[in-house]
Structure 1
Amino acid sequence: MPRVAPFETHHQRYEAWFEKHEAAYISELLALRPFVLWEGRGIEIGVGSGRFAAPLGVQVGVDPSPAMLVHAASRGIEVMEGVAEHLPFAGGSFDHALVVTTLCFVDSPTQMLAEARRVLKPGGRLVIGFVDRESTLGQNYVVHQAESVFYREATFYSAHEVERLLPEAGFAISAWGQTLAHPLPETREIEPLRAGRGQCAFVVVAATRAD
């Protein structure tokens, strides 16, 4: 069942997070940018308010929250209401797909990845950005999960778990990247992208639809 209510009720609060934590937000954008294709047709699954799709040139966004889609549409995204496990698009509709901080909110990551694979063309690229559960920030989120409006019902994943899920879903991993090595309250400067994973909170993985 889509975890929509917090985003419907607190969408302005969600937007305010990006203003409050601008350095962290830009660090995440810069970490994603080298992995996202800048040609062809792209979709962000769990587009939210379009904070990632718009600056990364992703044309289409799907999300179960109408309130969030209003924000995304205002940023020039072609929006469609729907859930990650049942995407309202024909197979092979996109050249690339983006999933940012959405993995922890879906009911079934396996079904979400199956749907991402379905709507991608053969050889299409999937880019996932997520908070590594095993990082300091990830552990902090887990400890304080009950206090968070947005993360109360989230299920966080480790980089090792994502590394296992992708091949099982028919994707070949091509690269890893990471950023945000410091606690969120201490992140006042934009942090660079680092290779690999295991040292930072925000992890990016790029994978190709294997055929």
Structure 2
Amino acid sequence: MLPGAFRFVVGRTTIPMDVVARLEPAFIAANRSGDRRAERQCVAEHLSSIEWRWPWFEGWAERFHDLGIEPYVWRSFREAIDRRDGGDADIRPFLVGHTIASRANTKKGLATASQISDRRWPRFMVGDGCRAEALVAKEAWPAVAQGDLRILPPLFPGDRTLLQWLTKWELERRPGLYTAWEPRPAEPVSQASVLAALMADELG
């Protein structure tokens, strides 16, 4: 799932294809080593000497700004990106690498969980009620519940937003653990169809 996540995320940048061709195997190797610093360094080394843009991130940043609500740390990320022309370090390589790894890990975890039991409900949860993250969760839920992550912005899901399969017992016994922003389905979503979607690289 990592190659698919890589191509999905990097495909929404203007990074030249020759750089992408070199970066992909290097990033996959760094990710599989389990060393997050090596992963970040790999992306930074490949992108530090070239000009590129991230329209996907820019579009979401503009939308959040226009709405007057931004997810946690997005403002600091956006401001740091704006300052890079003044000599500040470019944090975009770190954000690209983080988004790739997050999506791949989420798809892997959901695919594994979806094979454990037919009596689990997929849940998209926001930990502390952030308005921006709640908006994303509400809009994305119909697609995400079917295993399609394309609608999610960069950095989602991350440390503060979770996609999980929960049992009925967990739903009833742990209602205060997370704020769930999607309607609870009357029956479990078909996990076979979700698993097929999760395995499809073109679905994010």
TM-score range for the pair, normalised by the shorter chain length: under 0.3
In terms of fraction of residues, the more strand-rich structure is 1
Asked which structure has the greater CA Rg, the reply is 2
**Which structure carries more relative contact order (alpha carbon 8 Å, separation 6+)?**
2
